[in-house]
Amino acid sequence: MEYDAFVPEPGRAARLAAEAAAAPPGGPLYGVPVGVKDIIHVDGLPTRAGSALPPEALAGPQATVVDRLRAAGALVAGKTVTAEFAMTAPGPTRNPRNPAHTPGGSSSGSAAAVAAGLVPLAVGTQTVGSVIRPAAYCGIVGFKPTYGRIPADGVIPNAPSLDTVGLFAPDTAGVARAAAVLCDDWRPVAVQPPPPVLGIPVGPYLERAGAEALDAFHDQVQRLRSAGFAMREVPALADFDAVARQLFVLNRYEAARSHAAWFPRYGHLYREQTAATVRQGLVFDHCDHVRASRERELLRDRLLDAMAARHAIDLWLAPSATGPAPLGLHTTGDGIMCLPWSYAGLPSLSLPAGRAANGLPLGLQLVARPCADELLLAWAASLSSRLSLSPM
């Protein structure tokens, strides 16, 4: 069962055979089949972005992330299903842990393809919660690097000042192997760093998680304490509702501008959820955008100040999502637990972290300082080795 993770592609086997024959031997990803979210341009494959628009209207040059994958010897297994234009209108993909539930989104196909064992690596994007949340729902590792660390050219934009190319793999080793190829200026961690000091963002943000997610989170925190990790409770995000409002303004304003050329011509082909997002953005003006951008910088400064000067923590810990994957395919779930970290452009990673009562996976989210992606992955491997994180 493929769980509708991949966009249908006539002649896929023949294309892959030709691509394998042409792949440069000896590359760090030689022969690795990779799923690529269908908002990312790949030479030889149409980009539809989960929409009914003609692919020629969306066409563009191959994305740098795909250039790097192919140069490293990876094979593009195919385009993975996305919510329409990486927004909220879901595609047909089902959760491999339970096909009656959503896999999350908008990188739904990428997460499901890895969770189902169809590919060992997939590429997605995150504007708010579109890598971390589906990784948690599907019980795999999801990595959203520092904003801009993987080039986003050749990616159909949602909100360009937030859109971040990210990765899915079954474990942290798979993510680290790909990140070293795809991230700009990667500096391998030669020696295992000292254990991180972990911070719990106490306050209204953490209270957005549901009971099952919080129970699992507290259990994982206790496990880490017992393993000897230093843990500090940090009052944070007291103005979380205001932060969420400003991200909404930034996201919607930029989404409307990203579709300024397509929506007037093809608006009748947009699904209602996507059309509503574009229309919401038209309400906001340049001054609203400037204000939301300024608030983003202030939020980042506050979070970094809390990490460095006042509390000396290395990683924030939080639930990856408000709970397990919701029942049904009509929604991709709630990305609120990813919101402040995405807004601030910080690197984050989701580890599988136990199961809900219905057996579905839950996730533990780790968040580091900007450009500390290498340390984040090294620490994630260390934390996962001290926890029982297998979801199934």
Active site residues: 37, 106, 130
Angle at 18 between CA 12 and CA 23, to 5 degrees: 115
How would you list the strands of the sheet with 33-37, edge to edge? 75-80, 33-37, 121-126, 164-169, 141-144, 348-355, 361-367, 315-319, 198-202, 231-235
Angle at 357 between CA 141 and CA 125, to 5 degrees: 25
Q: How far is CA 98 from CA 87, 116, 165, 222, 264, in A?
A: 23, 11, 26, 29, 39
CB 230 within 8 A of CB 251: no
CA atoms 8, 9, 10, 14: torsion sign: negative
Amino acid found at 81: V
Amino acid found at 355: R
